[in-house]
Structure 1
Amino acid sequence: MEFFNNHTKLFTAAALLFIGLTIFVCIVPALKNQSENAPLPNAIALSDEAILGKAVYISNGCVACHTQQVRNVDMDKVWGSRPSIAADYAANYRTDFWRNTATVMGTERTGPDLTAIGQRQPSAEWHLPHLFNPRIVVKESVMPAYPWLFEITNKVKKGDVVVNVPVEFLHGQKGKVIATADALHLLAYLQSLKQTKLPEGIPEPNFLYKKSGDIGEKTAGGPKELDGKVLYITHCQTCHQSNGEGLKGAFPSLKGSKIVLDENAELFVNVIMNGYSGRVAEGYGVMPAVGTNSNLKPEEVAAIMNHEKTNWGNSAKKVTTEQVKKWMDAVKK
Structure 2
Amino acid sequence: MEFFDNHKKLFFTAAAFFIGLTLLVAVIPAWQTDRINQPLPGATKLSPAARKGKAIYVANGCIACHTQQVRNLDMDKTWGSRPSVAADYALDRRPDIWHNTATLMGSERTGPDLTNIGNRQPSKDWNLVHLFNPRAVVKESVMPAYPWLFIYRDKPKKTDIVVNVPAAFMDGKPGKYVATKKAMYLLAYLQSLKQVELPDGTVSPAFLYKRAAIKAEEASGGATTDGAALYTANCQSCHQANGEGLPGAFPPLKGSSVVTGDNLELYVGIIMNGYTGREKEGFGPMPNIGTTAGLTPEEVTAIINHERTSWGNSASEVKVEDVKTFMDAAKLSAGQ
TM category (shorter chain) comes to: 0.7 to 0.9
Provide the residue aligned with 2:301 in structure 1: 302
* Deviation per residue, 1:27-48 (Å, 9 max, x gap): 2222222222222333222111
Q: For 1:217 and 1:309, how far apart are their aligned partners in 2?
A: 15
1:129 and 2:135 aligned: no
1:252 and 2:251 aligned: yes
SS in 2 for 1:216: coil
Is the Cα contact below 8 Å between 2:119 and 2:194 reproduced in 1?
yes
Q: How many Å apart are 1:117 and its aligned residue?
A: 1.4
1:90 to 1:260, Cα distance in 2 relative to 1, 3 A = same
* Deviation per residue, 1:73-93 (Å, 9 max, x gap): 222222223322222221221
Provide the residue aligned with 1:63 in structure 2: 63
Provide the residue aligned with 2:37 in structure 1: 37
Provide the residue aligned with 1:49 in structure 2: 49
Provide the residue aligned with 2:19 in structure 1: 19
1:12 to 1:327, Cα distance in 2 relative to 1, 3 A = same
1:100-249 equivalence runs, <5 A: 100-171=100-171, 175-199=175-199, 201-209=200-208, 211-217=210-216, 225-249=224-248
1:84 to 1:175, Cα distance in 2 relative to 1, 3 A = same
Is the Cα contact below 8 Å between 1:272 and 1:290 reproduced in 2?
yes
Supply the AA of the counterpart residue of 1:233: T
- Aligned-residue CA RMSD (Å): 2.9
Q: For 1:292 and 1:75, how far apart are their aligned partners in 2?
A: 22
SS in 2 for 1:44: coil
Is the Cα contact below 8 Å between 1:78 and 1:294 reproduced in 2?
no
Is the Cα contact below 8 Å between 2:164 and 2:284 reproduced in 1?
no
Q: For 2:59 and 2:178, how far apart are their aligned partners in 1?
A: 21
Supply the AA of the counterpart residue of 1:188: A
Unpaired runs of at least 5, structure 1: none
Is the Cα contact below 8 Å between 2:70 and 2:82 reproduced in 1?
yes
1:290 and 2:303 aligned: no
Name which of structure 1's ranges 25-34 and 317-326 shifts more when overlaid on structure 2: 317-326
Pairs aligned (count): 331
Q: For 2:136 and 2:23, how far apart are their aligned partners in 1?
A: 50
Q: For 2:30 and 2:73, how far apart are their aligned partners in 1?
A: 27
Is the Cα contact below 8 Å between 2:67 and 2:115 reproduced in 1?
yes
Calculate the TM-score normalised by the size of structure 2: 0.86
1:322 to 1:7, Cα distance in 2 relative to 1, 3 A = farther
Is the Cα contact below 8 Å between 1:216 and 1:224 reproduced in 2?
no
SS in 2 for 1:118: helix
Is the Cα contact below 8 Å between 1:219 and 1:225 reproduced in 2?
yes
Q: How many Å apart are 1:54 and its aligned residue?
A: 0.7
Q: How many Å apart are 1:7 and its aligned residue?
A: 5.0
Q: How many Å apart are 1:309 and its aligned residue?
A: 0.6
Is the Cα contact below 8 Å between 1:260 and 1:305 reproduced in 2?
yes
Supply the AA of the counterpart residue of 1:75: M
Q: How many Å apart are 1:225 and its aligned residue?
A: 4.3
Provide the residue aligned with 2:260 in structure 1: 261
Identity within the alignment, %:
60
Q: How many Å apart are 1:307 and its aligned residue?
A: 1.3
Q: How many Å apart are 1:132 and its aligned residue?
A: 0.8
Unpaired runs of at least 5, structure 2: none
Supply the AA of the counterpart residue of 2:249: A
